[in-house]
Structure 1
Amino acid sequence: MNAKLPTRSGGQILIDQLKIQGVDRIFTVPGESFLDALDALHDADTIDTVVCRQEGGVTYMADADGKMTGRPGIAFVTRGPGATNASAGVHVAFQDSTPMILFVGGLDRRDKDREGFQEIDFPAFFGPIAKWAARIDDARRIPEYVARAFRVATAGRPGPVVLEIPEDMLTDEVETADRPAIPPIAQPPCAGAVGAMIDLLKDAVSPVAIVGGADWSPKAGHYFAEFATRVGLPVAASFRRQDAVVNDCPVYAGQLGYGPNPKLQQRIRDADLILAIGTRLGESTTEGYTLVTPDHPGQTLVHVHPDPNELGHVYHADLPICADMAEFAEMVADWLDDDLVPFSLGHEAHAEWLEWSTPQPRDGVVMDLGPCVAAMREALPANTIICNGAGNFSGWWHRYWHYGPQPTQLAPTSGTMGYGLPAAVAAALRFKDRPVVCVAGDGDFLMNGQELAVAAARGADLLVILVDNGGYGTIRMHQERDYPDRISATQLTNPDFVTLAQSFGGWGKRVESTDAFEPALKDAMGRSGIRLLHLITDINVITNSKMLKG
C-alpha cells in the first residue's frame, strides 16, 4: 500500500534531490527565473551557496569543483544572457571531460515558442557542447531528470548536463517520490585484455605511456605510477593533466601539449608501443594529430578509456580496453609476471625531464619567469594547487612547476582564457588547508577578475601571480610569425593591478625584476586573504617562443 506523499513545490523538490545526491556546494548568479529554488536553498543547511559575479565565473567554478571532487559541479543561472554567459564553462567541461550539471531558469511554459523575454531553445543551444540537454516540464518528474543527470554526467566519459527549469514549473505544488542517490558506475577491466597488454609490453623495445583524462583520480594515479615504476615504463602526461601522477615519480617523463620537451616528443615518435590511458589523444596532446597519428603506422596502440564510444572514435586502437581508470590501474599494479623484464627507459626519461624542468638564468632578461617558478617551488609545498587559464605565461609553469598528487593542476584543456581566477576561488573554498595559486596573464585575468569579489566575500586565501606584458601575448607571438612588423589589435592598456587587489580588501605588490620576486613572494606567503604579485614582463621576451623551447 502506497503512503501518501507530501506536497512540495518544484523548487523544493529540486533542492531535495540535490541533497539526496550528496551535493554540498552550488555556484550561482541569481535570477528571477528560479526564485523558488533559491527559496528552497534558504533552508538547505547542507548546501553551501556560492554567489558569483558573472555566469562564466559560475560555470568555471563548477567545472573546477567537479575536477577536484570527481562529482558533478553544480551551477544555477538564469535564462538568456545568463545561460549564454555560462556556456563558456559548459564547453570547458565538455572538452575536459568534467562532470557538471547546469540548471537554467526558463520561461513560463505557457509562453514557450513566442520568443518571450530572454527565450532560447536551451536543449538546442547546449546540445552540441553537453552530454545531455533537456527541459523539465512536469515538476513530478524532477527526481527522474535529476537522477538521470547525475548518471549521465558521471558515467563513461564524464561531462556536462544542462537542464532547463521553467519558472512556473518550479512553483507547481505536486506529490512525487524522491529518487535515491546515484552510485558511481565502475567498469572493471577485462583480465584477458590486461594480460594481452602485458604480453605486448614483454615484446616491446621502446614503450611509453600517455596518461590523464576522463575518469582519472588520485587512486588511478597512485596505482598506475606504482605499476610504471616497477616495470620502468616512461609516463608522459597529456595536455594539462600534469598531476595525473606525482611528478617525483621516478619514471615521470613530462607533459605533452604546447612547449613540451623535444626529447620526450622524440621518445613518442620512436615508441613501438604506446599505452594511452584515460586520454582521448586530443589535438593539443598530439600536436594536431601528428605526434601520434590516428593510424600510427609502425606503432602499436593500446587505448584504455572508460567510455566505449571514445574507443575507435578518432584513433585506431590495436587493443582497446574499456574500463574504469582506478579499477584498471589497480589491476595492473597487482599484476605479476616474471617474464616482464623491467625497462631502463623510464628512469632515463625522468632524468631528461628533470633537466628540462630546471630553469637556467637568461642573460639580458630583467623579469625571467623560469627562476621565479623555481623560487615558488622552494617556498610552496607539493600539495599546492596551481590554477591557470590560457596564454603564453602558462608555459613557464607547465615546464618548470613540479605537480603533486591530483588535484594540484586546474587548467582547461580547451584553452579558454579567464579560467584561472574562478578555479582558484573554487579551490580555496574546497581545500582551505592547502595553498592555492592563480597564475594569470593580464588579458587572461581581466576576463574574470570580478570574481575576486567572491574571494573577498568568503574570506578565501589565494595568491595571484599576474604576468603583465601589456598585450595578448600568444596572439602577438602568432602575429609576429605570420605578419611580421604588422602588430594589430594585440596591445592592452591595463589598470594598476595592485590597487585593484587592494580595492577588494587584498594585498598587492609590483615586481619588476627577477631578483625582486623571491622577497615579494616571501612577503605574500606571510599574509592571508587575497594576495597579488604584479609581475612586469617584456612583450618582446614573452612572445619569443624560443624561451620555452631551449
Structure 2
Amino acid sequence: MNPLRTGARILADQLRIQGVNHVFCRFAPELEGLLGALGETGGIRVVAARHNAAAAEMAIAYARLTGQPGVALVAAGAPMLQAAGALHHARQRGLPLALIAVQKALDPFPVPSTGMDAATADANPDDRVRNWAGHVTPWTKWAAGADDADRLPNLVSLGFQTASGGHPGPIVLAVTEAALTQASATGNGRCRPAILPAPSDMQIASLRRALGQAQRPVVVVGGTGGNRSTLDNLRAFVDANLLPVACVPGGQDEFDNRHPHYIGDTAMPGCRARIGSADLVLALGIAWRRIGTAGGPEPESGDAASQVLVQAHPAIEFLYAGGADLAIHTGMPQLAARLAMMTPIERPPWATSAAEGHAALHAWRARPAIPEVADASPLAPWRILLDLRDALPDDAIVCGGSGIAAVWLERFFPYRGPATQIAPPDDSPGSAVAAAVSAKIIAPDKTVVCVCRTDDLVAGAPELATAMEYAAGTLFVVFHDRSGAEGDPAPPGARLHGPDPVALIGAHGGWGIRVTDANDFPAALADALTHARTQRSPALVEINASFRTR
C-alpha cells in the first residue's frame, strides 16, 4: 500500500517525475503548503519573483532554453490574470508552459464566467473566485481542475504530455486548497512522451517532386525547439540541396545566421522580397499562409497563384489555415530526419541563390539604411550592436526588449547557435528583463545580455531583486535618451521620462556605467561583463542615445 501523502506533496512529487527542476512564482499565502512540499521533495529550485507576470515570463524563458515545460505557480484571481499575458506569449511562440493555480473551490471546467447575479454573488462571496481559471482557457491548449488529491497524478501527467506534444503551448491546472491539504494513498503518475506525428513516404516523395520542379525555392524554418539533432538534420538537407533558408522574427536562432545559406528573417526587406518572388516556399515547423492571402506575404512579381506552398507543422489547425498545396502533419524531429535522408536534387537551377541572398544580408547589416544620419550620431545603435556582436561568445543568450529594440537586434545581431535568442512576440515592456534574469539563473555559466530601452528596464526593474537574490550576473545594455527629445512611449501630447538607469541598478545592488561616445563602449562592455561574471550580480551599460537614432 502506498504511504499517505498530502495533496501538496503528491503534486510536488509529480512535478519531479516530469523532470521539473525549476518553478517560478510570486509568493502568496495560498501557495505556502505547495512550496513547503516542493522543499521536502528536493531537486526542484523555487525561484521567487516580484510579480506574477514576471514569474510566468521566467517560466517561458525556461521553456525556450530547455525545450521542456516551464512551470509557474500563482494564486487564483488577480494573480492568475496577471500571468495571462504569458499564456498568450507561450501560445504564439509554441512554447510549453504549465501554469498551476491554487484556488478555493472549483466549478465545472472550463467556465468563462460565473453567470451570477449581484444578489447571488453578495450572498456567496467565495463564488466570485471559483471561475478565474475559466477566463484563461481560450489561450491554452488544455485546462483542468482538481478538487481531489487522487486526481493529481493523472492530471499532471496528461497536462505535461499535452503541453509538449504536437505544437507546444500552455496548459493550466487549477488545484483547490482542499485538495492540497487532503491526505491520500494514491500512487504516482507517469512521465508520458510527447505525441508527435511523422511524415509518410508519399508526402516526402511529393515534397521532393515539388522541389525538383522549382526554379526559385526558399525554406522558412522554425519550431525545432532548439533540438540539436533536428537542427543538424535540417542543415544536412539544406546543404545537400543548396537551399536558401530564412527564419521568422524571434526565431532567428533556429538556424546559424553565419551559415552561407542563411538569407535573413522574414521581416527583413531583402528576405521578404525573395520569398515574395519564390516559386516554392517550404514552410517547415511554422504557421504560414499562402502568398497574397489574408495574413500571408505580398507577392513581389508574377501571379500569386503560381507560387507553390509546402507546409509541414505538428498542429493540424495551422495546416488547414495555411492553404498549402502540400500539407504535412508532422513533428519537426521526425520531418528533419526524413529530409536528411532524402536524395538531393541534382544540379539545381537555384545553386547560386543562397549565396546571393546571404551576401545581400551581410551588406544590409554592415551599414544602416541612412548612413549619413547615423554617422552624425556618436552613439548610433548599429555601431553599438556590431561591437556587442564581436564581444559576445557564440553561445551567449540575448534577450531583446520590446518594440524598436527587437527590430534593431533582428537586423544587426546574428544568432550563432540554438537557444540563444529570447524575444517577446509583441510589445510587452518588462518581459525581456524577467527572461534575462531567468536565463542566467537557468544557465549560470553562459553570458546573458538584455538589450532594451529604459521603459523595458523600468517595467522589469522589480526582478532585479531576483537577480541579486540568486546571484544572476545578467548584463543589461540600455538605450536611454537623456536629451529629453524622445522619452518613453506615451500617447500624443504626453511625455514620460524614465529614471537614471545607472542609479536604478545601483539601488538594487548592481553595477552600472554610462557611455556617451561609441568609442568608449567596448571598454565599458568589457568592464560590465567582468563585473557580472566575477561578482555574480547584474551589471548595466547605459547608452546615452535613442533607438530612433538612425
Q: Tell me the TM-score normalised to structure 1 length.
A: 0.90
| Alignment: residue pair count | 523
**C-alpha displacement at 1:214, in angstroms?**
6.6
- Cα shift at 1:310: 1.8
- The structure-2 alpha-carbon separation of the partners of 1:94 and 1:214, relative to structure 1 and needing over 3 Å to count, comes to farther
Q: Is the 8 A contact 2:226 2:418 kept in 1?
A: no
Match of 1:329 in 2: 336
Contact between 1:253 and 1:350, CA under 8 Å: does it hold in 2?
yes
Aligned partner of residue 326 in structure 1, secondary structure = helix
- Residue in structure 1 matched with residue 319 of structure 2 by the alignment: 311
The secondary structure found in structure 2 opposite 1:447 is helix
- Specify the SS of the correspondent of 2:513: strand
Match of residue 59, structure 1, among 41, 56, 59: 56
Whole-angstrom distance in 2 between the partners of 1:498 and 1:463: 12
Compute the displacement of 1:505 (Å).
1.7
Which residue of structure 2 aligns with residue 78 of structure 1? 75
Q: 1:63 to 1:233 in 2, by over 3 A?
A: same
Shift of 1:236: 0.7
In the TM superposition, residue 57 of structure 1 has moved relative to its aligned partner by: 0.6
Bigger Cα displacement from structure 2, 47-56 vs 411-420: 411-420
Equivalent-residue separation in structure 2 for 1:287 and 1:228 (angstroms): 29
Higher helix share: 2
- Residues 1:183 and 2:180 are matched in the alignment: no
Deviations 1:255-277 (A, max 9, x none): 123xx1x2222111110000101
Alignment pair present for 1:275 and 2:285: no
CA RMSD after TM alignment = 2.5
Question: Which structure 2 segments of 5+ residues have no match?
Answer: 108-113, 115-120
Q: 1:250 aligns with which of 232, 246, 260?
A: 260
Moved over 6 A (4+): 471-474
Q: Using the alignment, how far apart are the partners of 1:221 and 1:473 within structure 2? A: 42
Deviation at 1:144, TM superposition (A): 1.2
1:417-496 to 2 correspondence within 5 Å?
Answer: 417-469=429-481, 487-489=492-494, 491-496=495-500
> Could you give the per-residue CA deviations for residues 482-535 of structure 1, whole angstroms, max 9, x where no partner exists?
xxxxx333x222212111111222110112232222221122122222110111
Q: Secondary structure of 2:188's match?
A: coil
C-alpha distance in 2, partners of 1:214/1:91? 20
Contact 2:72 2:100 in 1 (8 A): yes
Local SS of the residue matching 1:434: coil
The question of whether the paired residues in 2 share the 8 Å contact of 1:234 and 1:345 is answered with yes
The equivalent of 1:524 in structure 2 is 528
Q: Pairwise mapping of residues 286-301 of structure 1 onto structure 2 (< 5 A)?
A: 288-291=295-298, 296-301=304-309
Q: Which residue does 2:236 correspond to in 1?
A: 226
Is 1:171 aligned to 2:184, yes or no?
A: no
Distance in 1, Cα, partners of 2:295 & 2:488: 18
Structure 1 unmatched runs, 5+: 480-486
Question: What do the CA deviations read for 1:23-68 (whole angstroms, capped 9, x no partner)?
Answer: 1110011222232211201212210110111001100000110111
Against the structure 1 CA distance between its residues 146 and 212, is the aligned structure 2 distance closer, same or farther, given a 3 Å change threshold? same
The CA deviation at 1:190 is 1.6
| CA positional deviation for 1:138 | 1.4
Q: Does 1:266 align with 2:273?
A: yes
Work out whether residues 224 and 254 of structure 2, in 8 Å CA contact, stay in contact via their aligned partners in 1. no
Query: What SS does the aligned partner of 2:512 have?
Result: strand
Once residues 340 and 189 of structure 1 are traced to their aligned partners in structure 2, the CA distance between those partners, rounded to angstroms, is 26
Secondary structure of 1:23's aligned partner: coil
- CA separation in 2, counterparts of 1:251 and 1:496? 43
Q: By how many angstroms is 1:348 displaced?
A: 1.1
Seen in structure 2, the aligned counterparts of structure 1 residues 287 and 215 have a Cα distance that, compared at 3 Å, is farther
- Residue number in structure 2 paired with 1:482: none
Cα offset, 1:216, TM superposition = 5.7
Alignment partners' CA distance in 1, 2:312 and 2:236: 17
2:161 maps to 1:151: yes
Counterpart in the other structure of 2:117 = none
TM-superposed CA distance for 1:343, in Å, is: 2.0
Q: Which residue of 2 aligns with 1:536?
A: 544
CA contact (8 A) 2:166 2:194 kept: no
Name 2:359's counterpart in structure 1: 351
In 1: Cα distance, 2:93 partner to 2:351 partner? 32
Q: Distance in 2 between matches of 1:338 and 1:115?
A: 68
Aligned residue type for 1:237 = C
